[in-house]
Amino acid sequence: MKFKDISRLSADKFFNKIPKNPVIVTNLFTHPWLSASRGLQDDFDLLIRDEYTANLIVPIEIQQPGVALSTDQRFEVPFGLFYKLFIQNEQKDKKGYLAQYDLLSNSPYLSNLLPVIPHLRDLYAKSSSWLGPEGTLTPLHRDAISDSNILLQLVGQKRVNIIDPMYSNLLDLHPSNSPLRNFSKQSAEYPKEGDFIVHTAILEPEENLSV
């Protein structure tokens, strides 16, 4: 389902009008985000053009095919090193990706390139960035934020599978006292057992997913 012409709505009408089920939102990007998205599509190395940003220490996760996420697969490295190892050099057996890190707030360069979108300014919401090479599979997980979320797609495609929270007992999550408590102990893309409904969407650049 696509919800169009969002640029014509006020922020209040925007959130009142969006349905409660997952929906793709178009026309949410303002001019700076449109320019940045198209600029990054032409030259993705813009991300590490700034020395301060390239030297930021960021958390990454290393994905191994058929292996569930563990704390041993989490590391902290300079953003520029992560970028060179896993974004510029995509031909690796292991996939490294950045997730659940507020890259924009920690980089004046990137926050200037991608200022807060007017419709989202008054939310005071937690922001986090995701960046990974083609073919990266994010582990099966429960979102740590219980309120509504908006995923903004800048570059590339991302397929998103959303399982209704009523089936959360099928995720086989780590114990509540574990640092991986929001992640499944399984390595599969979907729960291995049980009947459940999955909403699937493929996000294109400049599209957004409201959950």
Smallest Cα–Cα separation from 145: which of 197, 182, 104? 182
Domain membership of residue 168 (yes or no) is no
Tell me whether residue 136 is in a domain.
Answer: yes
Percent residues over pLDDT 70 in the chain: 78
Flag whether pLDDT at 146 surpasses 60.
no
Q: What is the residue-wise DSSP string for 73-85?
A: GEEEEEHHHHIII
**Is 164 inside a domain boundary?**
no
Three-class SS of residue 80? helix
Q: What is the mean pLDDT of residues 86-113?
A: 87
Nearest residue to 52 (alpha-carbon basis) of 111, 115, 139? 111
Q: Report if residue 169 sits inside a domain.
A: no
- Whether 26 is in a domain gets the answer yes
Range of the domain at 11: 7-158+201-210
Domain containing 48 — which CATH number? 2.60.120.650
User: Per-residue pLDDT tens for 11-53?
Assistant: 666 667 665 677 787 777 777 888 888 899 899 999 999 999 9
Distance, CA of 151 to CA of 204 (rounded, Å): 11
* pLDDT at position 12: 66
pLDDT at res. 116? 82
Count of beta carbons in the 10 Å neighbourhood of residue 55: 12
Enclosing H/E stretch for 189: none
Confidence of residue 90 (pLDDT cuts 50, 70, 90): low
CB 167 within 8 A of CB 191: yes
Return phi, psi of residue 99, to 5°: -150, 155
Question: What pLDDT score was predicted for residue 110?
Answer: 94
Of 15-19, 51-55, 155-159, 197-201, the least confident: 15-19
Residues 24 and 162: beta-carbon distance below 8 Å: no
**Per-residue confidence (pLDDT) for residue 123, from 0 to 100:** 62
Question: Which pLDDT score, from 0 to 100, does residue 211 have?
Answer: 77
- Binning pLDDT at 50, 70 and 90, where does residue 119 land? low
Is 175 a member of any domain? no
Count of domains forming the chain: 1
Q: Does a structural domain hold residue 1?
A: no
- 183 lies in some domain: no
pLDDT of residue 3: 47
Rg (CA), the chain: 18
For the chain, the average pLDDT equals: 80
